[in-house]
Amino acid sequence: MRIFEITGNDAGQRLDKFITKAMPMFPKSMMYKAIRTKKIKVNRKRAEIGQMLNEGDTVQVFVKEEFFATSDNQFYKNIKPSFATVYEDSNILVVNKPVGLLCHSDQNEEKDTLIEQIKGYLWKKGEYDDKLENSFAPSLCNRIDRNTAGLVIAAKNAPSLRAMNEIIKERTVKKYYLCLLQNMPKKTEDTIEGYIVKDSSNNMVKVYKEKPRFGDAKKAVTKYRIVGRTEDGILCEVELVTGRTHQIRAQMAYIGCPLVGEGKYAVQTGERAPGMKNQALCAYKLVFDDILPSPLEYLEGKTIQIGEKDIPFAGSIMLKKK
């Protein structure tokens, strides 16, 4: 038998979700049965599967001790961060992810990922220890591809994670990218609207002007404006209105302007520009709206941005103001 005391990081979630996180070795089918048969209680009273937990509640679990085992993953404590911190406060951390680093582990179960590096960074600061948490771990609120550099937001606590997820879902934060194009678009500023269908077998997407009748087509909207020129290409600022897989790369190639260094969506697929190992693309700026949920309301109107000197392909061009 074990008693869990619900903290601020545990509150605001369903009982079954909490048990799944707090007891990863406990099969879900057995968990649901334990709730129905009163072997799992909240405040020593019969509980419901979807019951919401509040700070100060206690959860009593009457099952075999073997089900309380947790994974002993201490890898994050010995990992050296490769990211740069762009902004940090008591609730969130915004980092500049380098090219080549995965946000989360993939099918190859790579351990050295951005989220593990962030856990290690916070552990060394004394702000996170999995041994002291029932169900929460620092979490990424957005993600970018391995070979795309730029801003990724991490939440340090559960209330901030919920708030930032709501901000992103409601699009009350604008996400801007810089990229280099191989060709000059017909219009120096425009909005590209269309539909994207994932081709999982080739890890690519296909762009359509009209919604196709096949596949799981998603609406994709990208705003862009040309901001300058370098020796290597046309410097373009992009605002993601929607966030689809490979959206910028695929839609810019669709209008005949693939990114410099593009290896998937260039005219001759698989070819890259000489000396380029990845696409010239960086998530460089976040702009928050004026109405945000608690506890992140202090971010209202704030801009978080990577300096041009930290975007190698941008050269010395000063971005034009709107």
**pLDDT tens profile 99-125:** 999 999 876 667 899 999 999 999 999
- Res. 280: pLDDT tops 80: yes
Contact 32, 40 (CB under 8 A): no
pLDDT of residue 321: 46
**Position 302 confidence tier, pLDDT thresholds 50, 70, 90:** very high
- Res. 322: pLDDT tops 80: no
DSSP letter string over 51-98? PBP-TT-EEEE-S-GGGG------GGGGPPP-SEEEEE-SSEEEEEEP
pLDDT of residue 317: 52
Domains of the chain, first to last? 2-68 (3.10.290.10), 75-169 (3.30.2350.10), 175-314 (3.30.2350.10)
CA terminus-to-terminus distance, the chain: 62
Mean per-residue pLDDT, 307-312:
86
- Res. 231: pLDDT tops 90: no
Which tops the pLDDT comparison, 321 or 242?
Answer: 242
Longest Cα–Cα distance of the chain, Å, equals: 70
pLDDT of residue 320: 47
Mean per-residue pLDDT, 258-266:
88
Q: How many CB atoms lie within 10 A of CB 293?
A: 16
Q: How many CB atoms lie within 10 A of CB 260?
A: 22
Tell me the β-bridge partners of 272: none
**Position 318 confidence tier, pLDDT thresholds 50, 70, 90:** very low
- Res. 196: pLDDT tops 50: yes
Provide the whole-model pTM: 0.88
Q: Is 317 helix (H, G, I), strand (E, B) or coil?
A: coil
pLDDT of residue 267: 57
Q: H/E element holding 118?
A: helix 114-124
Q: Which of 191, 83, 178, 194 is nearest to 140 (CA)?
A: 83
Which tops the pLDDT comparison, 68 or 270?
Answer: 68
- The CA distance from 85 to 118, in Å, is 10
